Structure 1
Amino acid sequence: MRFSGKTVLITGAASGIGLATAHYLAREGAQLALIDRNAEALEAAAAELNALALPGDVSDEVALKAAYDTALVRFGYIDGVVNVAGTMIYKPLDELTGDDWHRLMSINFYAAAHLTQRAFATMNRGGSLVFVGSIHTHQTSPLVAPYAAAKAALSSLARTASIEGKTKGIRANAVLPGAIDTPMLRESPNIKSGAEIIDPADIGQPEDIAAAVAFLLSDEARFVTGASMVVDGGRLAKL
C-alpha cells in the first residue's frame, strides 16, 4: 500500500496505459482523479475505482488547469501527476499542416507542461511527476514526426522540471514505453501496412508500464529524478 493517503491525478485514464495505471495505483491505496475526453468510459472507470472523474480534452489549457484545481479542492492536496494522454496521426512531413503540429503538441506535450506549472504552484514537498513518453524519443519510424517530437520533448521537460523542482521537493521523470498492446498500437497504419514490423515478443502490456510509473511515483524512487526510463522489453537493445 505505497500510496495509502496519497492523491494522484492521471490523464488519458479511460483506456490503455492510463487505465492500467489507475488500477495499479488504486490497488496500492491511492485516491485518484482521472482525466479523459471519453466521458462515458471515464465515468465507468471512475465508478469502478471510486475515483473522481474529470471529463475533458487535455489540449484545452484552461479546462485542464480547471480540472486539476477541481481535484485539488476535492482532496485538499495532490501528491502525484501522471501524464499519459496521447494521440498520433500518420502523415509524411511534407503533408503536415500547422494545425496537425499544434494539436499533436498540445495533447502529447503542452498538457504535461501545463500540469507541471500547476503542480509546482500547489504541490507539497515529496510530490512526483511522471510523463509517459515513448521510445520514439530515441528511434522512430516514418509518418509520425509530430508524435516523436512531442515525446522527445517530454524527456526534456522531465530533466528541466527535475532541476527546477528540486528546491520544491518535487521529482519529475519520464517513462518511455516500447510497443504496448493498446488500441493505438493495434490501429497503427504503419503496423497494418507492414511498414513497421514488431516481434510479438517485443510487445508489452499496459500493466508493465503501470508498474514502472508506480515505482517512479513512490517514495522508493526518492533519489530518482530527471530520468527517462525505457520500458520496451529490450527492443532498443537490438542492432
Structure 2
Amino acid sequence: MVEGIEGKVALVTGAAGGIGSAIARSLADAGAMLFLIDRQPPDAVAGLLGPAAMALGCDLADPVAVEDAFAAAVARFGRVDLLVNVAGVMIYKTIEEQSAADWQTLLAINLIAPALLTGCALRSMAQGGAIVNIASVHARRTSPLVASYAASKAAMVSLTRSTAIEGKARGIRCNAILPGAIDTPLLHASPNIRSGAEVVDPADLGHPDDIARLAVFLLSDAARFITGEDIVADGGRMGRL
C-alpha cells in the first residue's frame, strides 16, 4: 500500500483518457476514493473501480461547471484531499492560423480549469493535501503546429510553482509532471506523428502507467518534502534532442 493514500479522496480530471484512467486505477489500488471527471462521464473507468469511485461529465471550458464539479465532489465524499489535473486538448495549427477562439478554448481547458480547481482546493483542503498537474515536455521544448498547447503547459508549470508557494503555509503541496511521448490516443492522433515529421523511437515511448506511478508517488506522504517541482518523465528523450 502506498503511504498516505488509503482513505483519501482524489479528484481526477481527464479520467477517461489514457493517462487519466491509469492514474485513477493506480490511486484506487492504493486505497483512494475517486471523483472522476471528463467531458462525458467516465462511467466505464468508474465501473471498473467499484463503489469508491464516482463519475461526472463536465465541460471544463465552462468555469461555472468546473467549480460546480469540485463542489459535487465535496458533497459526495465530504472533502477533496488530492487533485490531479490531467485533462487537456491540442490544436494542430500554425500560429498565424490560430484564431482568438482557438486560443481561448484551449486555454480554458488546459489552464483556466486547472487554475480554478486549484483555487477550490486551496480554499478547502486540509493540511496534507496534494496536487499534481500533468503538463508536458512541450513546456520546455516543442515542435511545430502546437504553439497554444506548449504555451498552456508552460503556464501550467508556472501555476504549479505559485501553488506550491501559496499552499506551503497550509501544508498543501503541488508538483507537475512533464510526460514525453506516451502511448495514448492523443499521441497517435498527432498530425506530426502521422506525417512522419516527428518520429518517436519505440525505446522512448512510455506507457500511461509510467506517469501514473509517478503521480501517485508525488501525491503520497513519501513525497512530503517535494513541492513546486516540474519533473520530466520521457525516458531520457528530451536530453538527446
Q: For this structure pair, what is the TM-score category when the shorter chain's length is used for normalisation?
A: over 0.9
Partner SS for 2:176? strand
Post-superposition Cα deviations, 1:82-126, rounded to whole Å, max 9, x if no partner, equal: 000011110011110000001111111111100110001110000
1:144, 1:15 → 2: CA distance? 20
Partner SS for 1:214? helix
Partner in structure 2 of residue 206 of structure 1 = 208
CA deviation after TM superposition for structure 1 residue 38, in Å: 2.4
1:174, 1:95 → 2: CA distance? 30
CA deviation after TM superposition for structure 1 residue 195, in Å: 1.2
2:14, 2:71 → 1: CA distance? 17
Q: How much is the aligned-residue C-alpha RMSD, in angstroms?
A: 0.8
Q: 2:40–2:56: 8 Å Cα contact kept in structure 1?
A: no
Structure 1 counterpart of 2:65, from 63, 66, 76:
63
Partner in structure 2 of residue 238 of structure 1 = 240
Unaligned runs of at least 5 residues, structure 1: none
Partner in structure 1 of residue 76 of structure 2 = 74
CA deviation after TM superposition for structure 1 residue 76, in Å: 1.0
1:56, 1:115 → 2: CA distance? 13
Partner in structure 2 of residue 45 of structure 1 = 45
CA deviation after TM superposition for structure 1 residue 127, in Å: 0.3
Partner in structure 2 of residue 174 of structure 1 = 176
Aligned length: 237
1:49, 1:111 → 2: CA distance? 25
CA deviation after TM superposition for structure 1 residue 143, in Å: 0.5
1:190, 1:57 → 2: CA distance? 27
Partner in structure 1 of residue 107 of structure 2 = 105
Partner in structure 2 of residue 190 of structure 1 = 192
- Equivalence map 1:24-35=2 (5 Å): 24-35=26-37
Letter in 2 for 1:71: A
Partner in structure 2 of residue 8 of structure 1 = 10
Partner SS for 1:32? strand
Partner in structure 2 of residue 220 of structure 1 = 222
2:44, 2:122 → 1: CA distance? 30
Partner SS for 1:66? helix
Partner SS for 1:13? coil
Structure 2 counterpart of 1:126, from 128, 132, 147:
128
Partner SS for 2:174? strand
Identical-residue share of aligned pairs (%): 55
Partner SS for 2:157? helix
Partner SS for 2:64? helix
Q: Could you tell me the TM-score, scaled by structure 1's length?
A: 0.97
Letter in 2 for 1:232: D
Letter in 1 for 2:121: A
1:124, 1:98 → 2: CA distance? 38
Q: 2:11–2:84: 8 Å Cα contact kept in structure 1?
A: yes
Letter in 1 for 2:137: I
Unaligned runs of at least 5 residues, structure 2: none
